[in-house]
Structure 1
Amino acid sequence: MAALSVRFLGSGDAFGHGGRLQACILLEWANRRVLLDCGATALVSLQRHGVEPDSIDGILISHLHGDHFGGLPYFILDAQLHSKRTRPLPLAGPRGLAARLEQALEVNFPGSSRVQRKFTTPITELAAGPARDWCGMSVRAAEGLHASGAPALALRLEAAGKSVAYTGDTQWVDGLMPLMGGADLLIAEAYFYERPIKYHLSAADVLTRREALAPGRLVFTHMGPDMLAHADEFPGETADDGLTLVL
């Protein structure tokens, strides 16, 4: 069976602390490529790591903040004007994705949402519930607690016989446990090291539940200055831009 590769093209917070690019994770298996989140710096990430935008088969969004979804207007216009895409670009994310994407296109490039393109962008809006097939993988969602003007999703993805759980941005809620538990890889936000903060996770929030979560591997991402300041003493694995894992 083909392996599942997970590459952190962007591992930073919204503000580029530590010189890191915004959330963008490349999943590769069996000649498929899917982006998990597409922050505003996504095209920079792709070019920096030699990934052709036209090679991306679909884009999955956890929530509608610019550092997780703000790259979509640029990705779509690149596909139209530079990559010359002709095959569909499936998009998936929380309820409200279609309307917010249209707004983002119009804010950034007025008139661009109404342009006739040579490719379609079918949008699947996800909600908490049973797993569903999308873009050659199984996707299951749970709703987190993160104010973004639309539901914020934590996601569990299964492909190539492996599972990846992704918290996205969220305060800890008990509904995350069934989704996150026992994944081959758990990618968890750690905006702070220990300090509790509304709408976000600290590393301590996850580490105190590590035994119950029982991940095969745990990697922290979306780290702010406080978390980065503890990097040398941190008892866990943290992502850098370019980190590649093979499950």
Structure 2
Amino acid sequence: MTVTVTFAGSGDAFGSGGRLQSCIHVRRESGAVFLLDCGATSLVALKRLGLDPGEIRTVFLSHLHADHFGGLPFLVLDGQFSGRSNDLLVSGPVGLQERIIAAMEVGYPGSSAVRRKFRTRTVELTEQSTGIDLPRMIDGVCVRAWLADHPSGASAFVLRLEFDDVVIAYTGDTAWTDGIIEAAAGADLLIAECYYREKSIPYHLTLKALTDHAAKLSCERVVLTHMSADVLGHEMPYEAAHDGLVVTL
């Protein structure tokens, strides 16, 4: 078997190009499924592609902005009403549990206290003095996290996931940081934000930043995501994601 990466949602926070928000579906060789980010539109994105939300065992969050984690209340409630019985594990920065509860209570008051057939468990990633999280084994995935430059009310991370002899690096949202170089070193796939082409936007990656540092990126493949209207429709030196793109590793 192979690892398949499906960009269920490849858009930015504002639906540029009619794209859905960040939701990257990864099916492992064993068949186990996890998500990289779960934006508010994720349930729509998954069901549009015929991807069963009940199969998702783990969600790895880069940060706690709604276009990257706001789909969790819907994922939990969908599991409740569809009869899900297997636990859902969510990994993210310190404060994750409180933010999930708050999001559920804002959208559906009382929903966070409902007893379900499954638990929603959280694993918080904490940065060390170096700014790098020590490797953690989470549901069979070796996770490392570098601090991103993207304020979101909690730490934001550049992630590196190692599993099944495959390495996926993911920038999440961030201005350029050398943590991207380390996370992407030898990776089979780097999923990189590309919010603007050249215009400098605080806390976000641009195509110019990626090309300026291209020689330092030793990954096998780069796929761009989280693109604004400034990027969409232009010829790119890297592969650009779209909703429904499937990458096989």
SS in 1 for 2:199: coil
Contact 1:154/1:167 (<8 A) preserved:
yes
The residue that corresponds to 1:190 in the other structure is 194
The runs of 5 or more residues in structure 1 that have no matched partner are none
Mapping for residues 1-247 of structure 1, pairs under 5 Å: 2-29=1-28, 30-81=30-81, 83-127=82-126, 128-230=132-234, 233-247=235-249
Amino acid at match of 1:133: M
RMSD: 1.0
Instruction: Please report the TM-score for the alignment, with normalisation by the length of structure 1.
Output: 0.96
Contact 1:191/1:222 (<8 A) preserved:
yes
Give percent identity, aligned residues only: 49
CA–CA distance in 2 between the matches of 1:53 and 1:207?
Answer: 36
State the shift of 1:229 in Å: 4.2
- How many residue pairs match? The answer is 243
CA–CA distance in 2 between the matches of 1:65 and 1:175?
Answer: 20
Amino acid at match of 1:235: P
SS in 2 for 1:164: strand
CA–CA distance in 2 between the matches of 1:157 and 1:3?
Answer: 16
The runs of 5 or more residues in structure 2 that have no matched partner are 127-131
SS in 2 for 1:26: strand
SS in 1 for 2:133: coil
| Higher mean C-alpha displacement, 169-178 vs 34-43 | 169-178
Amino acid at match of 2:246: T
Instruction: Please report the TM-score for the alignment, with normalisation by the length of structure 2.
Output: 0.95
Contact 1:23/1:67 (<8 A) preserved:
yes
Amino acid at match of 2:158: A
| Higher mean C-alpha displacement, 65-74 vs 221-230 | 221-230
Please list the CA deviations of residues 11-67 of structure 1 after superposition, one character each: whole Å capped at 9, or x if unmatched.
Answer: 000010101100000111111100110000000011100011111111111100000
Please list the CA deviations of residues 127-179 of structure 1 after superposition, one character each: whole Å capped at 9, or x if unmatched.
Answer: 23221111221111011010111111110011110100000000112233222
Amino acid at match of 1:46: L
